[in-house]
Structure 1
């Protein structure tokens, strides 16, 4: 059961001034999360967490990083990132090597196996989405194409 103060913050006593904007935001949030969940389910390694895959994808897209850089990029603590990197290293998806210039730094890079996981997961996700889009009308696909531009702009704020 929610406390009175908790229920007031979760369930406001009066609706927001612009209910239609509030409803649109809520609908968009829920639809985005549901679609993202469906896409995340399409992965090459079923036992890999979303956080682990995010690390592999970041290394695939942006190249090698230090532990601190990865932690900053993924907005997690260094100890949390260290646990993730340890697991991925034990699984053979990435390597740690001492920096040639600054021996205090350790560079983290993808292995061929890590690259394969990223490539296959992206292929599966694109294939799932392509199949889903094929079931829509041309007008619906055009609407989604336009919406994706706006969603990208929102995400980059």
Structure 2
């Protein structure tokens, strides 16, 4: 077995799976009429993990994108009422981004979209295959995450 060919095949399979997951999530976002793009949904999920509302620079770093990309995402989410810009209580020149009540509701729907996408992707696997896949993915994430 030629390892580079085998590794290339695995890499291609992982990329195809990732694209399939994105397509399913995008379709379900559209079907549910949530009015968010996949990139906006990622920003909303990221926002949910902060104890205090982050600055745009914090979001850009966490999302590994340029700050301008975060500004564009926040502008769209703010226009639709899912996030708001708030001044930092300690330094009013600093702006932080927080979820609105509508943003929290959309985030709950996004979790349902992700679960449904996972169910669709994993449907052909047995419970044993799912456990094995989970262990393999944990190994990859823990080693390279």
Structure 1 unaligned residues grouped into runs of 5+: 1-15
1:106 aligns with 95
SS of the equivalent of 2:93 reads: coil
> How far apart are residue 79 of structure 1 and its match?
2.5
SS of the equivalent of 2:125 reads: coil
> Rg: which structure is higher?
1
CA RMSD, aligned part only?
2.4
Matches within 5 A, 1:140-151: 140-151=129-140
TM-score (normalizing by structure 2): 0.80
Report how many aligned residue pairs link the two structures. 141
The alpha-carbon distance between structure 1 residues 144 and 17, as it changes in their structure 2 partners (threshold 3 A), is closer
TM-score (normalizing by structure 1): 0.75
Matches within 5 A, 1:53-92: 53-63=41-51, 64-92=53-81
> How far apart are residue 134 of structure 1 and its match?
4.9
Matches within 5 A, 1:37-48: 37-43=23-29, 44-48=32-36
Structure 2 unaligned residues grouped into runs of 5+: none
